[in-house]
Amino acid sequence: MVRLDRITTRGGDAGLTSLGDGTRVRKDTLRIEAMGKVDEANAAIGLLRLVTARGESGSDLAAADAMLAAIQNDLFDLGADLCVPVGEAEEEGKALRVVPTQLLRLEEEIARLNAELPPLRSFVLPGGTEASAWAHHARTMARAAERATVALAAAEAINADAVRYLNRLSDHLFVLGRWLNGRGASEVLWKPGATR
């Protein structure tokens, strides 16, 4: 159980912070950068949910909001995963880790949403509906989190499902953005060279 009695502790005033295992590290390490990018992606999804939360029960917005609520929880799991370095003799269940069932849920949602969309004939420009624009913004933040987590994985051992989750998440947000554009009807397509 998480309990936060004080927010201002002054413990980070010297540029250090604590990981989940108690190790003190600089705030500009690859691990802290990856955790921060995951947090940024979660905040972007929170902005998207300001729109999806307006949906009436049974609407596309309400369906999207339910998916996004689960994703936000997953991203806190992912942050907790990254916060505790993988140990050589890691005990099963001791550290909270992203697991394959979380990826499978995303894949199933992607497939379900994508089945309702027309095939793409060009790249999609972020925009159309308000919800779609925010979904594309969240997608870019998920990609940034993925890049930071890949950099961390190149430097030290991490749960491989952390990178996989972020890769699926950006795909999910892309397809969701299309779906939130009237199932593709309102999306804005790139017209190569149109402004020459």
pLDDT, mean of residues 24-44? 94
On whether the CB atoms of residues 95 and 20 are closer than 8 A, the answer is yes
Name the residue among 85, 50, 78 with its Cα closest to residue 155. 85
| pLDDT of 18 over the 90 cut | no
The answer to whether position 4 is within a domain reads no
Which residues are registered as beta bridge partners of 93? none
In-domain check, residue 176: yes
Whether 158 contacts 152, CB under 8 Å? yes
Query: Which 8-state DSSP code applies to residue 8?
Result: -
Beta-bridge partners for 44: none
Q: Is residue 15 part of a domain?
A: no
Whether the CB-CB separation of 149 and 165 falls below 8 Å is answered with no
Average pLDDT, the chain: 91
More confident residue, 153 or 94: 153
The pTM score is 0.89
For residue 82, pLDDT beyond 80: yes
Number of domains in the chain: 1
Residue 69, pLDDT score: 98
Q: Is residue 144 part of a domain?
A: yes
Task: Please write the tens of the pLDDT for every residue from 89-148.
Answer: 566 667 899 999 999 999 999 999 999 999 988 899 999 999 999 999 999 999 999 999
Q: Structural domain of residue 138, as residue ranges?
A: 23-85+96-116+125-184
- What CATH number does residue 100 fall under? 1.20.1200.10
Q: Among 7-21, 25-39, 81-95, which range has the highest average pLDDT?
A: 25-39
Look at residue 8 and tell me if it is in a domain. Answer: no
**Which of the four pLDDT bands, split at 50, 70 and 90, describes residue 26?**
confident
Please check whether residue 190 lies inside any domain of the structure.
Answer: no
- Answer whether 31's CB lies under 8 Å from 25's CB: yes
143 domain-assigned: yes
Beta bridge partners of 188: 125
Q: What is the pLDDT of residue 101?
A: 98
Task: Specify if 10 maps to a domain.
Answer: no
The residue among 90, 52, 95 whose CA lies nearest residue 77 is 95
Better pLDDT: 28 or 93:
28
Comparing CA positions, the residue from 155, 169, 159, 152 lying closest to residue 40 is: 169
